Amino acid sequence: MDLIEGMMTQKSIRRYTDEPVTEDEILQCLRAAIQAPNGGNSQPWQWLVVTDAEKRRRIGEIYKRAWDRYWPAITRDAELPDSEEERERGMRTARSAIHLSEHMGEAPALVMLLGHAEYKNFQLMDDDGPVDIGHTYYTSLVPALQNFMLAARSLGIGTCLTTLFRVHQDDIRAVCGIPDEYEIEALVPMGRPRGNFGVAPRNPVETVTSWETFGAYRG
């Protein structure tokens, strides 16, 4: 698959068929993931793959419990968009996310990205104190996640980056024996899409791109 086509059509997929995702496919995606750029080639990641049905079921139940706190909180003060089109778009995403909250455990594979606290808390110092070079922990993990999801896309496998499970991260740790010093930064369900890949709606790139001076938009 053409790389740009893959990127343009790698939207969140939250409904999956029952067809399994094979170990080879998962490893192929993970090999692509760990080729991502990362600070100083520190490779601050561990990956945890869950295909066992009982473990998936338990993680799905935890995700649903997290959803049940997340959803009322995120919608509590939310204002509806003005345009009908935007309202419909929001409803579509909500329906899809609600579906995932109820079926996470049925996704053929769940892949978690773990980061070690040592990397998360890393602070570069010199004699004058902290040397701020940005959050290299997150900026190292995110390209790997995106590589992972793009590789899945190229194999016809849908994914959805999720983080709201963090409400009950410790319960997921317990299911999979993840030590406390690892943060679970993402939980990515994988499966063949029930439905189609496609181009996700975005504001035009011209509206978020300045040239030479901030605020100098073209087009």
Q: Please tell me whether residue 93 binds ligand FMN under the rule CB under 6 A.
A: yes
Size of the residue set binding ligand FMN (CB under 6 A): 12
Q: Do 186 and 33 form a contact (C-beta atoms < 8 A)? A: no
Other CB atoms within a 10 A radius of the CB of residue 139 amount to 13
Beta carbon nearer to ligand FMN, 166 or 173 = 166
| Closest residue to ligand FMN: CB criterion | 200
* Residue 112 DSSP SS3: strand
Q: Please tell me whether residue 59 binds ligand FMN under the rule CB under 6 A.
A: no
Backbone angles phi, psi at 153, to 5 degrees: -55, -45
**Integer Cα distance of 5 and 9 in angstroms:** 6
Q: Please tell me whether residue 139 binds ligand FMN under the rule CB under 6 A.
A: no
Pairing of the two strands 129-130 and 125-126: antiparallel
Backbone angles phi, psi at 46, to 5 degrees: -130, 150
**Integer Cα distance of 66 and 68 in angstroms:** 5
Site track for ligand FMN across 98-137, x = CB under 6 A: --x-------------------------------------
Beta carbon nearer to ligand FMN, 40 or 81 = 81
Site track for ligand FMN across 151-180, x = CB under 6 A: ---------xxxxx----------------
CB of 200 to ligand FMN, least distance (A): 3
For residue 32 the two structure tokens come to 């692509």
Q: Which residues in this chain contact ligand FMN in the complex, by CB under 6 A?
A: 11-12, 14, 93, 97, 100, 160-164, 200
